[in-house]
Amino acid sequence: MHGGFGAFIPVGIRIGLDALHRLDAKPREVTVTYYDSDKAPCACIADGIMVATTASPGQRTLTIAAEKAPPGAMAIVVVRSKKTGAEVRYTVAESWLAKLGEWNRTLNPAGRFEHVMQAKDLFQVSN
């Protein structure tokens, strides 16, 4: 469906899994708003979030916001629990673009996944 497994998809998977854990939610129990930036090559992070949470535009549980992420952010992701209304907000800094691009050029899909899943300080989280 996506076309390739670059390093941006596991960023979304990692965010989605982290959000489910923090919100004590299961897949399909969250809604997601994704704010992209002009610096990001594509909204692939949103595709990874769909994999982890099963939120999707078709179910109206994942929205790509018309507003852009603020300067310095490659993406902002807000995940909300349908049950409680609690939310977590993730910021992925633009500074990750170069590293993710390098991993796309030098690693196979499994290596990209492994590096992203182990990356320190990949995103900032706030409530």
Output the domain CATH number for residue 113. 3.30.1330.130
Q: Is residue 1 part of a domain?
A: no
pLDDT, residue 40, reads 79
CA gap 75, 47 in Å, rounded: 13
* Distance between CA atoms of residues 47 and 28, nearest Å: 15
Please check whether residue 56 lies inside any domain of the structure: yes
Instruction: Tell me the pTM.
Output: 0.94
Does residue 43 belong to any structural domain of this protein?
yes
Joined together, the tokens standing for residue 4 give 């390739």
Q: Closest by alpha carbon to 79, among 50, 110, 119, 100?
A: 50
Asked if the model's pLDDT at residue 3 lies above 90, the reply is no
DSSP 36: E
Is 3 domain-assigned? no
- Assess if residue 109 is contained within a domain: yes
Domain count for the chain: 1
Amino acid letter, 50: M
Q: Is 63 helix (H, G, I), strand (E, B) or coil?
A: strand
Q: What is the pLDDT of residues 21-62, one digit of tens each?
A: 999 999 999 999 999 998 877 789 999 999 999 999 999 999
DSSP one-letter code for 5: -
Which domain range does residue 66 map to? Answer: 8-126
| Packed helices 109-118 and 8-23: angle between N→C axes, nearest 10 degrees | 40
